Structure 1
Amino acid sequence: MSITLQPEQERFIQEQVARGRFKSANEVLAHALILLEQEYQEDEAWIEDVRQKVDEARAEVERGEVLPLETVMAQLQEKFRQAREDRA
């Protein structure tokens, strides 16, 4: 496999090796691929979590376990208010 890097990518890799963070360019690239794989795995886990939550919500709706829109909106507004207060 042959890979062509942009000049700024090559500089970045060379800087990482020069700073002693990695022993070689191959080590930098191997680490980058590990991080990329972790990111994809986290994305997949997040997608699966959302799918499960959607399925649970659908089941709740089918069972009639729903809240009036006004209640939901009031709860969301309270969460936003609390988040603003926590930042202050």
Structure 2
Amino acid sequence: MNIVLKPEYEEFIQAQMQSGKYGSVEEIIGEAIALLRERKRQIEELREKIAVGTTQIAKGQVTDGELVFARLQEKIDRIEQSEV
């Protein structure tokens, strides 16, 4: 496969090669693809969580935000007191 890159991409790749961190252009492209895959996986995971949350909201399965923050503050207070 032959790929034509924008000059700024070529410069970036050359700089990465010169840094010594990568042994080949293929290694750089491989890492870029791995990062893209991970990003897409994370986005899909977030979409699934949003769908679950939306369903829970529609069913009325929610907790008041002020209550959540109050509970978190209580936990923080307990941790701080146990450190003294």
Aligned to 1:56: 56
Instruction: Give the number of aligned pairs.
Output: 69
- TM-score with structure 2 setting the length: 0.70
Moved over 6 A (4+): none
How far 1:4 sits from its partner (Å)? 1.3
Amino acid of the structure 1 residue aligned with 2:24: S
Per-residue CA deviations over 1:27-84 (Å, capped at 9, x if unaligned) read 0000000001000000000010000000011011xxxx679xxx87xx5xx9xxxxxx
Unaligned runs of 5+ in 2: 70-84
- State the percentage of identical aligned residues: 28
Aligned to 1:82: none
| 1:2 counterpart SS class | coil
Aligned to 2:81: none
Unaligned runs of 5+ in 1: 79-88
Q: Distance in 2 between matches of 1:40 and 1:10?
A: 24
**How large is the Cα RMSD of the aligned pairs?**
2.4
